[in-house]
Structure 1
C-alpha cells in the first residue's frame, strides 16, 4: 500500500481510503464521537470476555454505542483488504496479533495517539495500541501428571514417557515462537527439536483451544495452551495447571483504527479508553489485560495473568519489532515441516 502525501492510500484496485480527520484534543474527540453515535469493534474474542469493558465505556460515553463482533484474525485481514480496496470499510476498531501484525500495520490509520493519552510504551510501530497479552504456555492435567514429573524444560518434553499421544500440540507451530525470539535458542535448534518432538507422536490440533480441551478432559497429560484458557478452566474446576516450562512469549495483541473506518472518532475514543487503567482492570478479570512485554515479576498487582506466569516462574519475551513478526512469518512454515503438520 502506498501512502500519499495527502494521507490517502491507494489500493491495488485504485480505490481511495482517506486518513481520518481527527481533532487534537480529547474533549473535541468525545464530541465528534458522540455525533458519530456508534463504533464497530471486531476482535477474535468471545463477547463475554470484552463485555465488562464495553459496559464501562458505554456508561462513561452514553452517546456512543458499541457494536461488537467476534471475527477470526485471518478472516478480518482478508475482509479489511477487500473493503479498503473497494473504498468502503465496515470496521472501526480491529485487532492484530501474531501473523496478522504485519498486514494490519499496513492497513492501520496513522493516528496521533499521544493526543488521547496513550504513551509510547503502549504503542507498536506507532499505529497499533497494545491492549492485552495472552502468553503461550504448556499446561498439564494435575490428575494425570505427578508433581515430580512435570516438565521444566523443552528438552524434558522429549522424554519417551510423553510419547504415543500423551501430549497435545498446536499444528501451526506458533508454540515454537520463543525459539525464534531467543537468540540463544534460534531457529536451527528449534527445527531440530521439532523433529525429535514429532517422533514422540504427539496429538496435533489446529489451534490452542483444541489443544487445551484434551488436557482438561485427561485425554492427554499435557500440551500447548494459552494462559487465559488455563485460568478460565481452573476457575470452573478443571484439573489443569501451568507447567514451569520456559521460555515463552508475551503474545501481545493490539487494536487499531483501519484507514477508512466509518466512525473514526468513536474508534479512537474506544481504543484510548481500552488502554486506560479502568478498562485494563476490567479486562484483567477476564484474563485479557496488558502485562510487561518482557519478564518482569516485580509487581504482579491484581493482574491474574501476570500473577499466574510469575507463580510458574516463567520467563517470557516480547515480539519487539516488525522484523521479528516478519521472521515468524517465514519460520512457522518451516516449523510445520519439522513437525510433519504441513499437510494440505
Structure 2
C-alpha cells in the first residue's frame, strides 16, 4: 500500500540517485506555446489552450503523447482503473513510476530529475509534504474548480484536494471477534493481530491512525499522546503486529486487523467477503490528498488534462468506485451524477469530521518522533 511519508525513505533516495546517474534525456515539449500564445507550462485554465470547451487542451496533450505519474499504486483509490481510463480516453501513454513510493519521494524525484523527460508531471501528496512544497506547484483551475470548497484548495489552484476518507479498522470476521470500538483491540482474542499501515513518524496513513485512536482515548488533534499510549498498551498486551499491511497480507490472513483509511479497507471487502470495516464512533478523523501539477512538468498540457479528468464526474466516480470519497461528492449528489451504488457502500460515519490543521500535524509529528519508538519498543 502507498505510504504517504513525512520524510524521505532511504531506498527511494538510492533509486532516485540511480536515475540521475543514468541521465535521462532532456524534455523537449516543455514550454511549447498554445494556440492562444500562452506557454503551456504557464496555462492557468483550459481556456488558455483555445478551442471549444477543452478541445485545445486535449489537442495539446495528445501532441505531447505522454504523462508521467508517480507513487500511484493500482490498488490505491482505484488508480489502476483511473490510469487506464485516462489513457484509453485520450490515447496518451501514462508512465507510472515507483507506484509504492512516498509523498516525499515524489518531491525528491521532481527535484532530482528537473529538466528531464522522466520527471513527474503531477503529484498526489499527503498534506504535510504538499504544504511544505507549494513552490514546486503550477497554479491551474480545473473546469469544476468552483464546486470544490474553499478550504479544500489553494485560491489559485496550485493545489486541490481530490479524494480522501476516514480512518477505519478493517478486520477479518472469520478470524477475530466483531470490532465495534478501538478498546476492543486490547482483548486477548486480538493477540498478535493488530497492524498499522506503516510507521507514524514517516507514513501519513499510520500517523492518521494514531491520531484517530487518540480521539477515542480522550485526546484531540492537539494531543496525540493518548493514541501513542494506547499503542503502547497494545504492544504490552502482545496484540500489536509490526507488519506493514498490504492486500496480500490481508488476503493471506497475516494481518487480520488493520488500522487504515476506509477506502483501502473497504477495497478488501471485494476480495475477502469476511473482511469488515468500521469507522469508530465519534472518531471521524478525515484526510484528503493533494493533487498538484509540477511547475517543471515535461508534459505540461497532459498534466493539465489529467487534472481535468480527475476532477470530472468520470474521474471522481472512479475514485468512488475505489471506495475513496471524492472531493466533489456533495455537488455530484445534488446534480445526480454520483455513482449511487458505490456511494451507498461507504461505511457509515458517526460524528463530525475532524481534520487536523497543519500546525496540529506538525506538533503531533514532533511528539511521535520523540515518543513512538519508546512506546512500542
TM-score tier by shorter-chain length is 0.7 to 0.9
The answer to whether the 8 A contact 2:44-2:140 is kept is no
Report the counterpart of residue 302 of structure 1 in structure 2: 340
Residue 93 (str. 1) matches residue 122 (str. 2): yes
The answer to whether the 8 A contact 2:69-2:121 is kept is yes
Question: Does the residue aligned with 2:95 lie in a helix, a strand or coil?
Answer: strand
Report the counterpart of residue 235 of structure 2 in structure 1: 198
Deviation (angstroms), 1:113: 1.0
Output one character per residue of 1:281-312: Cα deviation in whole Å (capped at 9) or x when no partner. Answer: 23322334516899xx99996263763321xx
The structure 2 residue matched to 1:152, chosen from 180, 189, 193, is 180
Question: Does the residue aligned with 2:340 lie in a helix, a strand or coil?
Answer: coil
**Distance in 1 separating the partners of 2:96 and 2:328:** 27
Q: Quick one: structure 1 residues 65 and 103, their matched pair in 2 at CA, closer, same or farther if it must change by over 3 Å? A: same
Query: What stretches of structure 2 of length at least 5 have no aligned partner?
Result: 1-29, 32-38, 48-53, 201-205
The structure with the largest strand share of the pair is: 1
Deviation (angstroms), 1:201: 2.0
Question: Does the residue aligned with 2:162 lie in a helix, a strand or coil?
Answer: strand
The answer to whether the 8 A contact 1:139-1:222 is kept is yes
The answer to whether the 8 A contact 1:89-1:261 is kept is no
Q: Which moved more, 1:179-188 or 1:131-140?
A: 179-188
Number of residue pairs the alignment of both structures matches:
311
Question: Does the residue aligned with 1:205 lie in a helix, a strand or coil?
Answer: coil
Q: Quick one: structure 1 residues 284 and 243, their matched pair in 2 at CA, closer, same or farther if it must change by over 3 Å? A: closer
Q: Quick one: structure 1 residues 281 and 106, their matched pair in 2 at CA, closer, same or farther if it must change by over 3 Å? A: same
Q: Quick one: structure 1 residues 288 and 321, their matched pair in 2 at CA, closer, same or farther if it must change by over 3 Å? A: same
Query: What stretches of structure 1 of length at least 5 have no aligned partner?
Result: 1-16
TM-score by length of 2: 0.67
Report the counterpart of residue 362 of structure 2 in structure 1: 326
Residue 46 (str. 1) matches residue 74 (str. 2): yes
**Distance in 2 separating the partners of 1:185 and 1:158:** 24
Deviation (angstroms), 1:77: 2.6
Residue 77 (str. 1) matches residue 107 (str. 2): yes
Q: Quick one: structure 1 residues 32 and 305, their matched pair in 2 at CA, closer, same or farther if it must change by over 3 Å? A: same
Question: Does the residue aligned with 1:326 lie in a helix, a strand or coil?
Answer: helix
Q: Quick one: structure 1 residues 112 and 271, their matched pair in 2 at CA, closer, same or farther if it must change by over 3 Å? A: closer
The answer to whether the 8 A contact 1:92-1:263 is kept is yes
Question: Does the residue aligned with 2:260 lie in a helix, a strand or coil?
Answer: strand
Deviation (angstroms), 1:253: 2.0
Q: Quick one: structure 1 residues 260 and 106, their matched pair in 2 at CA, closer, same or farther if it must change by over 3 Å? A: same
